[in-house]
Amino acid sequence: MRSTHLLVCALSLVSSTALAQEPGVYGGPPPQRQGLELALGLQGGHIECEGNMGQCDGLTEAGGGNLTASYFFSPSFGVALDLWAMAHSDNGFTFTHYVNTVALRWRPVPILTLTGGIGEAHASLSHENTNLAIESDDGFAIMGAASLDLIRGRRWALAVEVRGGKGFYGDENEDGMADVVGTNVGLGANFTVFGF
């Protein structure tokens, strides 16, 4: 899977950068993380689709990535804008499920960050011979994530992260239940810079 290769390359690059730093240059514990943080993540996982009228039912492997901009008001509490997409390609067709949210972030200990958000989901199906989506839909979204810092510098951190998100599409029966629910689940790594 391409996403697994990308993840391994990213981890190798970041860890070699960390090892190349001179020991003892900074001294003392790293400063508390507060203020603006920017993160880039890569995941491998799956996309699942459930339809109450048989529109879709199934699970497929997928790769994805996210961009997150956070602002921590204190070392333990912040807000974020999180843009996340996972995609699966087969026979020239690509299905992409986006979960874009505004989120709250909580850091109970300096190396663990928990995230929960709401926003908009977007599902699209495209073919390699067209530049436009063949089908697409928008819906309400929820997302949750947990990341654990593995390596930390004074202004950056590399973390392992698990995340999940759902998109709720349509309500033709007007019963308060979505006709289709799309689910992203991803496990990967993110690289964060902070201390601007």
pLDDT of residue 14: 45
The CATH number of domain 2-18+35-194, selected from 2.40.160.20, 3.30.360.10, 3.40.640.10, 1.10.4160.10: 2.40.160.20
Name the CA radius of gyration of the chain, rounded: 19
Highest mean pLDDT among 43-52, 110-119, 169-178: 110-119
Q: Integer distance in angstroms from the first to the last C-alpha of the chain?
A: 35
Domain boundaries, the chain: 2-18+35-194
The residues near 123 (Cβ < 8 Å, ≥ 6 apart) are 95, 96, 97, 98, 136, 137, 139, 167, 169, 182
pLDDT at 25: 47
Residue 20: pLDDT band with limits 50, 70, 90: very low
Most confident of 27-36, 104-113, 179-188: 104-113
| pLDDT class of 130 with cuts at 50, 70, 90 | confident
Per-residue pLDDT at 7: 47
Encoded amino acid at 38, one letter: L
DSSP lists the bridge partners of residue 62 as 45
Mean pLDDT of 82-96: 89
Q: Could you report the per-residue pLDDT of 34-82, keeping only the tens digit for each?
A: 999 999 999 999 998 887 766 566 778 999 999 999 999 999 999 999 9
More confident residue, 56 or 193: 193
Position with higher pLDDT, 33 vs 18: 33
Rounded to two decimals, what is the model's pTM?
0.79
Mean confidence (pLDDT) of the chain: 83
CA 129/CA 84 separation, integer angstroms: 25
Burial class of residue 82, CB neighbours in 10 A (0-12, 13-18, 19+): buried
